[in-house]
Amino acid sequence: MGWDGALFVELIGNSFQLLWVIVPAVLFGIVIGALPGFSASNTLIILLPLTLTMDLDVALAFMASVYASSHLGGGIPAILVNMPGDGGSVPTTFDGYPMTLQGKGQQALVLCFVASTIGGLITSLATVALLPYLAPLGLYLRSVEMVVVMVFGLVLIAAIASDDLLKGLIGGFFGLMLGLIGADHIYSTPRGTFGFLELYDGVPIVAALIGLFAIAETFSMVEREAIVPKSETDIARPRWADTIDGLRINLKYWWQTIWTAFLGMLIGIVPGAGATIASFVAYQQSRMFSKTPHLYGTGHPPGIIAPESANNGVTSGTLVPLMAIGVPGGATSAVMMVVLQYQGIVLGPRLFIETPALAYGVFFYMTMSYAVMLLMILPLARYMSKVVNMPTRIIVPLIITLTIIGAFANREYIFDMWLALIFAVLGYLALRTGYHVTGLLIGILLGPLFEQYLLRSLRLGQGDLTILFSSTLANILWVLVVLSLLLPWLRTRQTQRALERAGDTARSGL
């Protein structure tokens, strides 16, 4: 395997020597991630002519840092202005934005930063230690197992719908219906596109999340003077004490950070799966194992920690199949593959024997970028959180401009700008009428992936539905799905009974 102490020391030395590229790349990545529509993969494609001319180590350090930090950046607008930078940051809005509205935006940012960086840090270190063993792990999660993983995400619709089941389910199924728009997964025949070429590839996720979340929220923001209600502005005033408070909460949920990061890493290893799936599944799992599932969605810290830690766990996971079997795990690793191939690097198992410094190096650079990120970003939470005190007459036009540009920038279609506005109206109407836009968005985000894995599985089963229960791993996952539906319900019932019992005791005491 070519792995020894000298190599370890050499790679640590290299990582320090490359700090000159890692630091600016981290800053750049955070900005890219925070701007909706500007994903790491799109940016790296644009910058490819530049990276192809760099030394391989420099190029890899640059790309790994941009990629990792963009995942952290996405959480910032999600928390402060309900504007997720990408699909992976959507679950962060569920509890992040409510915390901001309660005047705890700074703590929420600290939760996001620490969970992201620690999650990313430990998984990239774990990848270095376990790389040859991790690669085959991704091969265990096949189409059938991925159907169940998708169901974990879709189950969230039911959880969100628990307040008003009918409205929640209507939203979720409407989202799933919208998710069916686009070319079918078997014959590539366009469906439900109304003749719009722009919809052949499905409903564009960026336009949907910008419209449903960010712009729809601005419509309701204009009804007040600042993002945070006046009664909470004193609490929202930035203080170092709040940063420390955020760290304290992080420490309290340290185990949550670790296991969701590994969950993200595992999902990242599966080629084709990514940060969106990981963050939704992590949020859903965190809620399932929680003793207080009813607090999720109200500004509960684990609701930020779980998705952020998971979507940063994905970053190292997604590079595993690229390095170990030569198949890119996602769009960003596909760009990295182009650079590696351009430099004549043959990917796959031989890489670890022939050039171990390169195979492991990328994970060392990623680890270094997470360490840099933590040091750089944590003190900034105090200043970033000031955004919420800005008058809405300034922040609202700013958000609308940025998001509309973001809707365009992702695919460079004017159509997407209009679509974002249509989704914004839909989102605003949903807010006003008590429908939850999250259910709708989960349908749009996970629906097409669910359909893809389901149709593939059914085709593999040659029409036999029992294929969905044909593997031990899938069956274990199915049991967990059922548990994840039952556990929160049982816990809530238990709490209600305890309250009733306490009430009875109090009455009999009187």
Partner 1 sequence: MNNRIRAVSRRTFLGGAMAGAGTIAMPSLVRSQDAYPSETFRVVIPTRQGGGAERIARAFDAAWSQLLGQPFEYEFFPGAAGQIGYEVFVKQREHNGHNLLFGNMGPEMIMYATQKPDYKFPEDYIYFCRTDVDDSCVFVRKDSEFQDIQQVVDAAKQRALNVAVSRIPHPASIGILALGEQTGGTFNLVPYQGGNPTQVAVLNGEADIGTLPIAGILQLGDQFRVLTVFNKENIFAEQTNNAPPVNEVFGTTIPDLYSSRSWAVHTNWADENPDKFQKLVDTSKQVFEDPKFLEAYEKTGAPVEVIKYGDRETCTEYALSMVEFAQRYAEILSAEKG
Residue 331 is a binding residue for partner 1 (CB under 8 A): yes
Residue 327 · residue 137 · CB < 8 Å: no
For partner 1, the binding residues in 350-369 under the rule CB under 8 A are: 350
* Amino acid making up residue 299: G
Residue closer to partner 1, measured from CB, 10 or 201: 201
Residue closer to partner 1, measured from CB, 139 or 244: 139
Burial class (CB in 10 A: 0-12, 13-18, 19+), 292: middle
Q: Residue 225 Cβ, how far from partner 1 at the closest point, in Å? A: 36
Q: Residue 348 Cβ, how far from partner 1 at the closest point, in Å? A: 6
Residue 202 is a binding residue for partner 1 (CB under 8 A): yes
Residue closer to partner 1, measured from CB, 350 or 493: 350
If binding means CB under 8 A, how many residues of this protein chain bind partner 1?
49
Task: Print the SS3 string covering 84-136.
Answer: CCCHHHHHHHHHHHHHHHCCCHHHHHHHHHHHHHHHHHHHHHHHHHHHHHHHH
Q: Residue 347 Cβ, how far from partner 1 at the closest point, in Å? A: 8
Q: Residue 352 Cβ, how far from partner 1 at the closest point, in Å? A: 12
Residue closer to partner 1, measured from CB, 248 or 459: 459
Residue 430 is a binding residue for partner 1 (CB under 8 A): no
Residue 183 is a binding residue for partner 1 (CB under 8 A): yes
Residue closer to partner 1, measured from CB, 135 or 446: 135
Burial class (CB in 10 A: 0-12, 13-18, 19+), 102: middle
Instruction: State the angle between helix axes of 105-140 and 240-252 in degrees (0 to 180), rounded to the nearest 10.
Output: 30
For partner 1, the binding residues in 38-97 under the rule CB under 8 A are: 41, 45, 48-49
Cα(352)–Cα(347) distance, integer angstroms: 9
Tokens of 274: 């990514």
Backbone region of residue 239 per phi and psi (left: phi > 0; alpha: psi in -120 to 50; beta: other values): beta
- Enumerate the β-bridge partners of residue 391: 226
User: Interface with partner 1 by CB under 8 A: which range of 104-112, 422-430, 452-460, 481-489?
Assistant: 452-460
Q: Residue 192 Cβ, how far from partner 1 at the closest point, in Å? A: 13
Burial code (b: 16+ CB inside 10 Å, e: under 16) for 15-52 equals: beebbebbbebbbbbbebbbbbbbbbbbbbbebbeebe
Considering only 25, 99, 131, 144, the residue that binds partner 1 (CB under 8 A) is 144
Judged by the rule CB under 8 A, the positions of this chain that interact with partner 1 are 41, 45, 48-49, 139-140, 142-144, 182-190, 197, 200-202, 271-272, 321, 325-328, 331, 333-335, 337-338, 341-344, 346-350, 452, 456, 459-460, 462
